[in-house]
């Protein structure tokens, strides 16, 4: 993660020096909103990536789930909260179906999810009206994702995140001590918590310099913190990494590999549904464009850039967020510099390759020597 953070700082310094607008409160607020959908889809993907699987249908799932929510809210006057629950349930059902096929047929998740994405494209066309679009203008469902938190509530959110991180770090520290493993309270608990506190306060202060913390960003941070607890403090989370590292060894250790895989696909679908709702709120509609392949590629790129592995066993819930900030910052900065589309795509691709290469080299250097 450290090399990616250094790369992010370098990107910000470069664009901040070449365009004074880049580091303005307004642009940073816009950037925080722009990266939310990519980071949310990336977070959804992370759960299956840790297993060494892939879900190419996650964007299709997000689009169908958002369409279900929009249809209920607009056509049936269902309250926004119930429409969102229906969307999340839709994502869970799609993930459950995919997981069953992968588990019982032992087919590669790449092929299964590719086929599912085509099915979902057809389902999206079926659910949409003949116009191919459902407008969310003046709908409470959209208002949830285009508003900002009051200034004071932003700091409350930051304090809550710091408190959760502190509790999780203390729990991990005590767990290490119980098992006789080396643990350093100052570095592993106080140091990490202090960094999170400083970072959270700075982020809220910057965002409050414009309109406050965007509600979509608050939703994303809530999902990240919840996912952090699940992946680090629960048996399910530990089993995810065990299976991703060595599925056969995990099976022999008594881990129910099929069950964990099934739940992981369901979680991916559920988080993907949130991503679809946020995306719909941003553009105030759902349409055939909601299942954009570009979004899928950006989410995969962001998650890998942030430190997750396509081969399983590695990745943090913060990986999609950090990676999305890097990808979004480059796109935003080059747009401000009036760079051509081909130049922006070329640079983003080069950064992706460089990040993967750097991560591979650092991982290689970090392994103990066989001699």
Question: Taking 80 as the threshold, does the pLDDT of residue 368 lie above it?
Answer: no
Decide if 84 is inside a domain: yes
Question: Taking 90 as the threshold, does the pLDDT of residue 39 lie above it?
Answer: yes
Question: Taking 50 as the threshold, does the pLDDT of residue 367 lie above it?
Answer: no
Question: Taking 50 as the threshold, does the pLDDT of residue 369 lie above it?
Answer: no
Q: Is the pTM of this model over 0.75?
A: yes
Domains in the chain, number:
1
Element at 133 (helix H, strand E): strand 133-135
Decide if 190 is inside a domain: no
Closest of 317, 88, 297, 294 to residue 220, by C-alpha? 317
Residues of the domain holding 28: 2-147+214-363
Given pLDDT bands bounded at 50, 70 and 90, which one contains residue 320? very high
Decide if 169 is inside a domain: no
Decide if 71 is inside a domain: yes
Tens of pLDDT, residues 259-287: 999 999 999 999 999 999 999 998 899 99
Question: Residue 326 sits in a domain of what CATH number?
Answer: 1.10.3470
Residue/partner pairs of 168-175 with CB below 8 Å, 24 or more apart:
168/228, 168/229, 168/232, 168/233, 169/193, 171/233, 172/232, 172/233
Distance of CA 281 to the CA centre of its chain: 17
Mean confidence (pLDDT) of the chain? 89
Segment 63-81 shows an average pLDDT of: 94
Tens of pLDDT, residues 156-176: 999 999 999 899 889 888 888
Decide if 195 is inside a domain: no
Decide if 205 is inside a domain: no
- What pLDDT does 371 receive? 32
Decide if 157 is inside a domain: no
Decide if 142 is inside a domain: yes
d(CA 137, CA 159): 33
Q: At what angle do helices 318-336 and 2-18 cross, to 10 degrees?
A: 20
């Amino acid at each position: 993660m450290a090399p990616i953070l250094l790369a992010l700082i370098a990107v910000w310094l470069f664009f901040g020096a070449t365009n004074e607008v880049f580091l303005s409160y307004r642009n940073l607020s816009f950037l925080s909103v722009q990266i939310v959908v990519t980071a949310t889809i990336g977070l959804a993907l992370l759960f299956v990536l840790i297993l060494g699987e892939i879900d190419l249908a996650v964007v299709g799932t997000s689009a169908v789930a958002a369409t279900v929510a929009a249809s209920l809210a607009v056509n049936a006057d269902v309250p926004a909260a119930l429409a969102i629950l229906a969307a999340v349930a839709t994502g869970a059902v799609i993930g459950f179906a995919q997981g069953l096929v992968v588990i019982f047929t032992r087919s590669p998740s790449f092929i299964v999810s590719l086929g599912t994405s085509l099915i979902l494209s057809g389902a999206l066309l079926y659910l949409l009206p003949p116009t191919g679009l459902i407008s969310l203008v003046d709908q409470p469902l959209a208002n949830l994702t285009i508003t900002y938190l009051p200034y004071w509530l932003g700091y409350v959110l930051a304090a809550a995140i710091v408190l959760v991180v502190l509790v999780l770090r203390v729990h991990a520290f005590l767990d290490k001590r119980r098992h006789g493993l080396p643990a350093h309270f100052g570095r592993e608990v106080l140091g990490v918590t202090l960094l999170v506190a400083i970072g959270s306060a700075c982020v809220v202060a910057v965002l409050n310099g414009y309109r406050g913390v965007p509600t979509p960003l608050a939703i994303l941070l809530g999902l990240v913190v919840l996912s952090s607890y699940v992946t680090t403090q629960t048996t399910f989370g530990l089993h995810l990494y065990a299976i991703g590292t060595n599925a056969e060894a995990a099976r022999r250790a008594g881990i129910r590999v099929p069950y964990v895989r099934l739940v992981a696909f369901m979680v991916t679908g559920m988080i993907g549904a949130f991503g679809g709702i946020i995306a719909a709120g941003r553009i105030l509609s759902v349409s055939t464009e909601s299942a954009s392949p570009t979004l899928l590629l950006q989410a995969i790129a962001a998650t890998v850039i942030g430190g997750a592995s396509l081969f399983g066993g590695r990745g943090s819930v913060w990986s999609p967020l950090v990676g999305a900030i890097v990808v979004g910052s480059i796109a935003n900065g080059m747009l401000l510099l009036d760079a051509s589309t081909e130049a922006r795509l070329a640079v983003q691709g080069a950064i992706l390759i460089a990040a993967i290469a750097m991560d591979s080299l650092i991982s290689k250097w970090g392994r103990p020597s066989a001699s």
